[in-house]
């Protein structure tokens, strides 16, 4: 009887599917950057702006709970994708600087999410600038020049 119950439990467990990963790995680094990181970063960067024009100073910042949640979630997404950059699928054959850039982006994204959670618009702006600087520094090394082939994973890749 015990064997029958155990067998039924095993068969019942076979139908269960694993929970999907919250972040599916894109096919390549370009897809990760253009399809995932850039859109999330733009949401964060556009959350707080100070624009001065002929009509005066315009402050753009999250106003509603939903706006602040969207800003925080954008930073959290950037952080998750930065963590993906540290996995072998993305980091293999890249230098220590790749690890440093990805870790830096992950760290800044965590602080950026905290700023949004705390509803500190000036900190969101400041950390958005830091996030941009980390991205730009990485692009100086890894973004292909116009007309050249993008870096490939392999022993000769940057």
Segments making up each domain of the chain, as ranges: 33-142
Q: Is the dihedral of CA 126, 127, 130, 136 positive or negative?
A: negative
pLDDT band at 52 (very low <50, low <70, confident <90, very high): very high
Average pLDDT of the segment spanning 91-98: 90
pLDDT of residue 143: 84
φ and ψ at residue 54, rounded to 5 degrees: -65, -20
- The C-alpha angle 25, 26, 32, rounded to 5 degrees, equals 110
What is the chain's percent helix, strand, coil content, to nearest 5? Answer: 65, 5, 30
Domain covering 33-142 in this structure, CATH number: 1.20.120
93 alpha-carbon distance from chain centroid? 21
pLDDT of residue 133 exceeding 60, the answer is: yes
pTM score above 0.85: no
- CA angle in degrees (0–180, nearest 5) for 79-84-85: 95
């Amino acid at each position: 009887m015990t064997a029958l119950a155990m067998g039924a439990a095993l068969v019942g467990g076979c139908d269960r599917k694993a929970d999907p990963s919250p972040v599916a790995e894109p096919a390549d680094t370009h897809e990760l950057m253009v399809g995932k990181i850039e859109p999330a970063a733009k949401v964060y960067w556009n959350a707080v702006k100070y624009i001065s024009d002929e009509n005066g100073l315009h402050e753009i910042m999250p106003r509603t709970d939903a706006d602040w949640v969207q800003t925080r979630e954008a930073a959290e997404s950037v952080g998750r994708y930065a963590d993906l950059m540290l996995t072998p699928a993305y980091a293999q054959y890249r230098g220590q600087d790749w690890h440093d850039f990805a870790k830096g982006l992950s760290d800044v994204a965590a602080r950026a999410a905290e700023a949004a959670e705390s509803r500190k618009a000036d900190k969101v702006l400041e950390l958005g600038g830091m996030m941009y600087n980390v991205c730009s520094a990485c692009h100086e090394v890894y973004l292909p020049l116009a007309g050249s082939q993008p870096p490939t994973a392999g022993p000769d890749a940057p």
